[in-house]
Each structure stands twice: as C-alpha cells, then as structure tokens.
Amino acid sequence: MTKKIIPISSSRTADASRWLIGAPEAAGTHVRDAFNRPLRDLRISITDRCNFRCVYCMPKQIFGKDFAFMPYTEMLTHEEIARLARIFVSRGVDKIRLTGGEPLLRKNIERLIEMLAEIRTPDGRELDLTLTTNGSILARKARGLRLAGLKRITVSLDAIDDAVFRAMNDVDFPVAEVLKGIDAALAEGFDPVKVNVVVKKGTNEQEILPIARHFKGTPVIPRFIEYMDVGSSNGWNMDEVLPSADVIRLIDAEMPLEAIEASRVGETAERWRYRDGSGEIGVIASVTQAFCSDCNRARLSTDGKLYTCLFATGGHDLRALIRAGHSDEEVSSALARMWRVRDDRYSELRGSQTPLPGRKVEMSYIGG
C-alpha cells in the first residue's frame, strides 16, 4: 500500500536565492531584526522522526503507521548542519539546541555533537551546546553524548505517574525508563539537567506537585510549559491551557517559592527557587505572558529551512543555497538580510481578531 503523505512543513517556503541579491554583508557582523531583536539562539531539528506520539506534538491520528517521513536524502547531513551552524555563529548565535523529532534517533549523533562542540564564537568562546530529548534511550546514550562535548540536556517528562505518562506519550512507554535516563545524565556530569513538563488542563495538571516533589532537593530543574497552539494538528483549545501563574500558586502553597533573575536575556523560562534552598523550578508562559519582545531564536528544520518563529507558516530554504554551491559569505549575507526583516510576534497577536494566514509548521519538523 502506498503511504499517505501529509505535509508537515509549510507550502510557503520562500525562494531563498532572492536574499543573495545585494552587496555582501560584512563578515562577523551581528544582526538585529525589525524590532531590534538580536540573533542569539539557534534550534536545529536533526530528524522529523520520533518514537513517541505525544498528543500535543505528534498525535497518532495524524502521525500514524501510514505517515511518510522525510527521505534521508532531504535531511541536512552532519557536515551541512555544522557548516550552517558556523554561519549562524558568525552572525551572533552563541547557543545551539539540538531537537527533533527525537534527536537521539539520529544516526551518529555523537559525531555531530563533536563537530558542533569545536565551533567558537568570533571572540573565541565555546558555544552553549544543548539538546532536548524524550529520554527514552538516554540511559544508554548519556556517556557518549557527554564524551562528544554536550554539556547540558533537557528531558521532556509530562507525568511522573506511569499510567498518565503512558497515556500522554501514546505508545505505552514506561516513565521508569525516562527516569533512568535522567539519573544517567546526572551521573555523567550534565549540568544542569532540566525537565520540560507540558501542562495540558484536563490531562496532567495533577502531575505538577508530584513532579515538583520528586525533583526538589536534586540538581534537576523542572520547567512547566503552557500547552501551546504549535502546528495545525494537535487540536489546541485555550480551555486546555493552565496559566503559569496558577502553577506557581499551586507549588508555592506547599513549597514556598521566590522569583530569581533570568539566566540570560531572551530566556523563555521565568525562574523560581525554593525558599529553603532545595532547588529551582521554571515556568514558560508563552500563551498567557507572551515574550515575543525579546525573542532571539531562529529554527533550522530537518531539511534546512530557516524559520524565524515557532508558529511560522513559511520558511527560507538554506539547504538550497548550500547545495547550489554558494559560498559561506553569500549564505551568511543572505541570512543577515532574512533576519533584518523578521517581524514575527505571533504570541502577542494570538488574541487579536485578525486571523493569521496559512498553516503553521509542525513542531516535530522544527523542534520546540
């Protein structure tokens, strides 16, 4: 039977060659967009495949057994990823996060991490290189990732109760295996280890306190994320969003909290620590408290398209430029021009009466 192909990328991919027109942009010049936001953070999706079918990201009714994933020939190679990463770094990026899909499913990911760990900023600093994983195979991958040069890691964990966790990943995967992965990451010296918890009202809000209790007194930092309308296939409804302010009130009532400063400008998480000094949590309130005003993140899809917003409906094909033989200088100049006209602020406009056009790109295609 022929597999059914359901597009997860946008049909509005722009012809990136038009950005080659004009005088070369000076090498090493950092760029700012139309709202004066710098380019600092690059999220790279290295595979569109995942072994989970989380209801908010890759629901089984869409990404079922007949779903046709991207041919490997369309994916960026390790060398292409590293080349584009160097170009992004020359324009101001100093943090790279590998995402997916599930990035640990990418063959020879350790070699890719080695290549990225060798990159330095124009002033000679190491990159802040990190990765987000569902943790399913982290226990056996942690040592290799650490030896390759990865220093930080984030694990998605939407429940500590096994039945709830199995229901949310929708492939009956046990939570104990993910917890083993977190323990392995700690044993290998990853610092910090963060845990991302997508809170969907009516599904797993009862897991907030158990997760907070479980990691209190450990180096692990749980971060509670509002359920977002990413992509066009998760059936998002505002009624299923639990505001982050409610999460803070809930935890604070049992385990008193105090706010602390963000770790860097443009950070997505609002940070809180326990007043007794026994750890830290975070909340990401992208629905109820939009942080578009200082968003400095770009996203590179599995097949090399640049998306300037998590909620974008169109991208720019950088893979086409590098496979057409254009130089680093030409691609870098094109990237600078693309970023300068960036005016995305979807989350600020979410509640407006003006409908936003187009089909949003799926999160499994560009990462979270």
Phi, psi dihedrals of residue 282, rounded to the nearest 5°: -145, 160
Predicted local distance difference test score (pLDDT) of residue 64: 87
Predicted local distance difference test score (pLDDT) of residue 11: 42
Helix (H), strand (E) at residue 223: strand 221-226
Show the tokens assigned to 300. Answer: 């590179």
Specify the higher pLDDT residue, 312 or 41: 41
Bridge-based pairing state of the strands 270-274 and 95-99 = unpaired
Show the tokens assigned to 209. Answer: 């306190």
pLDDT in tens, 55-71: 877 888 888 888 889 99
Give the residue among 28, 57, 329, 26 at the shortest CA–CA distance from 200. Answer: 57
Confidence of residue 47 (pLDDT cuts 50, 70, 90): very high
Give the residue among 36, 42, 85 at the shortest CA–CA distance from 294. Answer: 36
Confidence of residue 8 (pLDDT cuts 50, 70, 90): very low
Q: Would the pLDDT of 127 be above 90?
A: yes
Q: What single string gives the DSSP state of each residue in 17-73?
A: GGGG-SSPPPTT---B-TTS-B--EEEEE--S--S---TTTS-TTTSSTTB-PPPGG
Confidence of residue 355 (pLDDT cuts 50, 70, 90): low
pLDDT in tens, 235-258: 557 788 899 999 999 999 999 999
The dihedral of CA 52, 44, 244, 57: what is its sign? negative
Average pLDDT, the chain: 88
Task: Give the separation between CA 44 and CA 60, rounded to whole angstroms.
Answer: 24
CA distances, 188 to each of 53, 128, 216 (Å): 28, 18, 20
Predicted local distance difference test score (pLDDT) of residue 109: 98
Tell me how crowded residue 293 is: count the other CB atoms within 10 A of its CB: 12
Torsion of CA 227, 233, 237, 242, to 10 degrees: -10
Specify the higher pLDDT residue, 281 or 227: 281
Predicted local distance difference test score (pLDDT) of residue 102: 96
- Distance, first Cα to last Cα, the chain: 32
Once rounded to an integer, what is the mean pLDDT over residues 182-201?
96
Specify the higher pLDDT residue, 266 or 175: 175
Show the tokens assigned to 54. Answer: 């989380």
CA distances, 15 to each of 305, 331, 358 (Å): 11, 13, 17
Predicted local distance difference test score (pLDDT) of residue 351: 58
Q: List, edge to edge, every strand of the sheet that includes 305-307.
A: 257-259, 270-274, 280-284, 221-226, 193-199, 153-156, 128-133, 95-99, 41-45, 297-300, 305-307, 316-317
pLDDT in tens, 78-111: 999 999 999 999 999 999 999 999 999 999 999 9
Q: Would the pLDDT of 366 be above 60?
A: yes
Q: Is 129 helix (H, G, I), strand (E, B) or coil?
A: strand
Predicted local distance difference test score (pLDDT) of residue 6: 39
133-147, 150-164, 253-267, 314-328: range with lowest mean pLDDT: 253-267
Q: Would the pLDDT of 353 be above 60?
A: no
Q: Which residue has the tokens 């809170």?
A: 199
Percent of the chain past pLDDT 70, that is, above it, reads 86
Give the residue among 101, 105, 46 at the shortest CA–CA distance from 74. Answer: 46
Helix (H), strand (E) at residue 194: strand 193-199
12-21, 152-161, 313-322, 347-356: range with lowest mean pLDDT: 347-356
